[in-house]
Amino acid sequence: AYDAYREGRVDIRYDFRMNRVVYLIKDGNKVVDAAGRSLDPNLKPKWWRYGKSGNPFVCGRGRVAILVEDCASACCVSSVFSGVALLGTNLLDTHIKVLQKYDKVFVALDKDATQKALEIVRKLQGIVPTNMMILNQDIKDMDNATRERVLAKYA
């Protein structure tokens, strides 16, 4: 997420009380929520939702969206596509409202959520052209060269 932060595609803060990196969730220019990732591997839950907006986290301004599970993954694809994070694996109506604005959506959930990804593809296909990305590892865990090679297949 550092590149997205450095290039101004994401607004990230630090919650010193909870020791979390906090990704601000915006609706236009207005902050409506936030999601924080623990910096302590022993702290549970790993992710903390600060509000109850139900809005997904969006990073990037492309016309094609990559639907992922978490904010860091959304930031990783934001140089080429718009990264949209579910903040989990459940597709909500508030997510659909955001996703229907894109020309195309690729669902790229972690490998362990393949069944859930297929369900999301089926649900979205009637609303916006949607396909699934088959990934061997999470986008945020790929090195830059591998990530760019994978994303180039879908660009």
pLDDT 10s digits, 68-123 = 999 999 999 999 899 999 998 899 999 999 999 999 999 999 888 889 999 999 99
Beta bridge partners of 31: 26
Question: What tens digit of pLDDT does each residue of 15-66 get?
Answer: 999 999 999 999 988 999 999 999 999 999 999 999 999 999 999 989 999 9
User: Rounded to whole angstroms, how far apart are CA atoms 32 and 35?
Assistant: 11
Q: What is the pLDDT of residue 112?
A: 86
Looking up tokens 């992710």 gives: 47
pTM, rounded to two decimals: 0.92
Q: Is the pLDDT of residue 155 over 80?
A: no
Split at pLDDT 50, 70, 90, the class of 149 is confident
User: Rounded to whole angstroms, how far apart are CA atoms 13 and 108?
Assistant: 26
Split at pLDDT 50, 70, 90, the class of 132 is very high
Comparing 117 with 155, the larger pLDDT belongs to 117
Would you mind telling me the total number of residues written for the chain in this entry? 155
Q: What is the pLDDT of residue 83?
A: 97
Looking up tokens 């669902």 gives: 107
User: Rounded to whole angstroms, how far apart are CA atoms 22 and 47?
Assistant: 10
Q: What is the pLDDT of residue 148?
A: 86
In sequence order, the 6+-apart residues with CB closer than 8 A to the CB of 126 are none
